[in-house]
Amino acid sequence: MPKTLFDKIWDSHVVQHVDDGPDQLYIDRLYCHEVTSPQAFRGLRERGLRPLRPAQIFCMPDHNTPTTGQERPIADPVSRRQVEELERNARDFGLAHFGMMHPDNGIVHVVGPELGLSLPGMTIVCGDSHTSTHGAVGAVAFGIGTSEVEMALASQCILQTKPRSMRITVEGSLGPGVTAKDLALYLMSRLTTSGATGHFVEYAGPAVRSLSMEGRLTLCNLSIEMGARGGFVAPDDTTFAYLRGRRYAPQGRAWDEAVARWRTLRTDDGATFDREVSFDAADIAPMITYGTNPGMGMPVTGRIPEPAGPSDEKALAYMGFRPGEPMLGRPVDYVFLGACTNGRIEDFRAFASIIRGRRKAPGLTAWLVPGSWAVVRQIKAEGLDRVLADAGFELRQPGCSACLAMNDDKVPSGKLCVATSNRNFEGRQGPGSRTLLAGPLTAAAAAVTGVVTDPRTLMN
């Protein structure tokens, strides 16, 4: 019987199937950050256990790390305690740890792929919902809870019910100024935040294949915002070119053997998905959200639609928006470029392409936060830091930053922020803050004009 790629990867990792129950699933890679791991490590201590396969576990702080002054102790006592606890746990249990100021530190979902720790055909988990990001390399990657983190530490397995399969095909080519973030926001606006619930999504079609690895990472990152358990793209030459030579990827003859094996990771012709949907890339414009969930998206040139129900009415009231109003020209207080969604080198290149030769809008606050120290080094090597400085912008240190208000980067109450992050829930970026999700080009356009702007009008 023809099989989907999801079935191939999942089924090859099942250690034991429980009738009318979950699968015991073997995990190739476990990532731990400082927020969801402390209780899991405490559970190991209480049971007198140690990680079964420590070489397959990597730890790094990202949520609570400040994006300035990382060379000094963290001022906030709660954040400092969580970061220090992760370091202690990694040391006590003999696990790899990339702490603050370590050259390999950064957001776990940025660092994993860029070091070659996330590879095709793997099962990958982390106590974070956006673990789906790693699916861009052709892996089955998804977030887990604290109790499952403890399971994975102790046994390198978790108990998990197999999701249903779904394929989203995007035909055609993305137009000028349309990024992977715009593609993802478009899909969410069409499918809603529950449209893929219970499914694992394979992204396919010419528009997806044309994406760079950075673009695929962005697309897979946002799978969870459609309700999906995860999302992935089958590995191809783009994947292999990205992973070649990365530190933890196979080397030499082992690389050639791995690529030969990875080329078999594809959905068989005639395989059946539980659900299939298709879209045309020609219908996609630069997007922006107008409400309080990522599915409330619209073309940046459009007008705010009528609310579909009470929840939409509540969202518009929170945002201070009215149906029929245009988004273009709306004054913006903050711009945030970063997060595990758009904190990679390609995102900074895109941002720089818009601001080059221009100046930051007066009175606007911009937080430009690379996803890792490796991204920082590449920004400087390409001279993008000088482009940013010439335009009046400051490059910050790596971390999750304003994505979730667990560190010092909080948008004040009532202020409006154009953000490249993944969620725009009420207060997500700070109590009372208001978030418009967008891609790096749209964020850059707002940063130099001070208002919501179609980035295509500023492209050379």
**Residue ranges in the chain whose pLDDT is less than 50:** none
Both 148 and 253 in a single domain? yes
Residues in contact with 92: Cβ distance below 8 Å, sequence separation at least 6, in sequence order = none
With vertex at residue 150, the alpha carbon angle to CA 123 and CA 51, rounded to the nearest 5 degrees, is 80
pLDDT at position 291 is 98
Residue 294 CA to residue 423 CA, distance in Å, equals 6
Both 134 and 17 in a single domain? yes
Residue 299 CA to residue 180 CA, distance in Å, equals 14
Strands 23-26 and 14-17: antiparallel
pLDDT at position 460 is 77
With vertex at residue 194, the alpha carbon angle to CA 282 and CA 428, rounded to the nearest 5 degrees, is 95
Both 447 and 366 in a single domain? yes
The candidate with the shortest Cα–Cα distance to 126, out of 52, 194, 27, is 27
pLDDT at position 124 is 98
Number of Cα atoms under 13 Å in the Cβ half of residue 229? 20
> What is the number of H-type helices and E-type strands within the chain?
16, 18
Both 104 and 157 in a single domain? yes
Is 291 within the bounds of a domain?
Answer: no
Both 158 and 173 in a single domain? no
What single string gives the DSSP state of each residue in 117-143? -S-TT-EEEESSGGGGGGGGGS-EEEE
Is 441 within the bounds of a domain?
Answer: yes
Both 205 and 118 in a single domain? no
pLDDT at position 401 is 97
Both 322 and 430 in a single domain? yes
Residue 109 CA to residue 371 CA, distance in Å, equals 8
Both 328 and 250 in a single domain? no
Residue 25, domain CATH: 3.30.499.10
Residue 284 CA to residue 272 CA, distance in Å, equals 27
pLDDT at position 71 is 96
Burial class (CB in 10 A: 0-12, 13-18, 19+), 363: exposed
Both 337 and 424 in a single domain? yes
With vertex at residue 72, the alpha carbon angle to CA 66 and CA 74, rounded to the nearest 5 degrees, is 45
Is 296 within the bounds of a domain?
Answer: no
Domain range holding 65? 5-162+237-260
Radius of gyration of the chain (CA): 21
Count how many domains the chain has.
3
Both 110 and 251 in a single domain? yes
Residue 197, domain CATH: 3.40.1060.10
